[in-house]
Amino acid sequence: MKLSSILVTGLVLLSSAVAQADYRVATVDVNRILNETKEAKTKKKELDDITLKAKAKIEEKRKVLKATEDKLKAASVSPESKEAEKFRTDAREFARFVKDTDEDIKKQFMVTNKALTDKALDIVKKYAEQHNIDLVLDKGEKGRGPVLFGDDSADITDDIIKSLN
């Protein structure tokens, strides 16, 4: 009986010590990191340039296709003619080109976003380890992320952006 009361007393003391332990918690706005770092801005510009070039190429091909269509209509070419068949083939190829270009741009965006996110999360982890932070929560948009309220002094976003720049 005496041993069990000692165990119970020990468990009570241990659980109260755990309950009183200091935990350091911080928040970080990953979205800000992915939009405000120098590398993120550079990558965004690169993706924007790729998108603009692709749009220009699509527009150029669209104009050529439209000119061919107008020429065939003006000449009253029969829908069964070789010219009309070639136009339909070109139109299908154009549609495929547009779809493939769109998919390529989306893929490049995803690869870039994943690389930036992985790098940011690695820096957050290292920062937390160096500053003895036990838990880092994504601040995100108010009311949409896991942090509904947080003291701004717990926000390490600016420090992380500085580290990445």
pLDDT in tens, 10-69: 454 445 444 445 788 888 888 888 899 999 999 999 999 999 999 999 999 999 999 999
CA-closest candidate to residue 2, choices 10, 136, 90 = 10
Res 22: pLDDT? 76
CB 129 within 8 A of CB 26: no
What CA–CA distance (Å, rounded) separates 124 from 128? Answer: 6
Mean pLDDT for 86-99 is: 95
Res 116: pLDDT? 92
Res 16: pLDDT? 46
Q: Is 136 helix (H, G, I), strand (E, B) or coil?
A: strand
The torsion angles phi and psi of 50, rounded to 5 degrees, stand at -60, -45
What CA–CA distance (Å, rounded) separates 129 from 120? Answer: 14
Q: What is the mean pLDDT of the chain?
A: 84
CATH number for the domain whose boundaries are 23-164: 3.30.910
Res 164: pLDDT? 82
Res 78: pLDDT? 86
What CA–CA distance (Å, rounded) separates 36 from 41? Answer: 7
CA-closest candidate to residue 24, choices 122, 99, 130, 96 = 130
Render the burial of 58-74: b for 16+ CB within 10 Å, e for the rest.
Answer: eeebeeebeeeeeebee
The alpha-helical segments, DSSP class H, found in 20-81 are: 30-36, 38-74
